[in-house]
Amino acid sequence: MPITSFDHVNVRTTKLDEMLDWYAAILGLYSGPRPNFGFPGAWLYLGDHALVHLVGIDGALAEPNKVSLEHFALRATGLKEFLAKLEAKNIEAKVARVPGLPIVQVNVFDPEGNHIHVDFDAAET
């Protein structure tokens, strides 16, 4: 059985509304249909695919850097526009070239501190 595609990432949050706003405003994802699991959450879509699943929780999350998942990455176009959007919203980003590959990463953190990097073709620089 070969893997055929990436399906979704599941993110726990104590800041569900803030996370919904951030993923819409910064990454352009939109809230869409989600099964009634009996607990708070949202599915955020890219096109017709629920890419990010948010799970609302009460209480504290794990201590920073005590989780196994270090980041998730997305591929995009429009590097200059994305950097301008981050600057306009005062969101700190670290831009880095991937050694030996034609990729530029824009590293950001969502309101819960999850590391996300958005990858662009280096030709956009």
Q: What is the mean pLDDT of each run of 10 residues along the chain (125 residues)?
A: 81 92 97 93 95 86 61 93 96 95 95 91 93
Nearby residues of 120 by Cβ (< 8 Å), 6 or more positions away: 75, 76, 77, 78, 79, 82, 103, 104, 105, 106
Q: What is the pLDDT of residue 121?
A: 94
Right CATH for 1-58 from 3.10.180.10, 3.40.50.10320, 3.90.1150.10, 1.20.1560.10 = 3.10.180.10
Right CATH for 71-125 from 3.40.50.720, 3.40.50.1370, 3.10.180.10, 3.20.20.140 = 3.10.180.10
Q: Could you state, in order of their start, the residue ranges of all structural domains in the chain? A: 1-58, 71-125
Q: What is the pLDDT of residue 24?
A: 97
Q: What is the pLDDT of residue 69?
A: 72
Q: What is the pLDDT of residue 63?
A: 61
Distance CA 97, CA 85 (A): 20
Distance CA 88, CA 7 (A): 31
Question: Widest CA span of the chain, in angstroms?
Answer: 47
Model's pTM, two decimal places?
Answer: 0.85
Distance CA 45, CA 49 (A): 5
The residues with which 11 forms a beta bridge, in sequence order, are 54
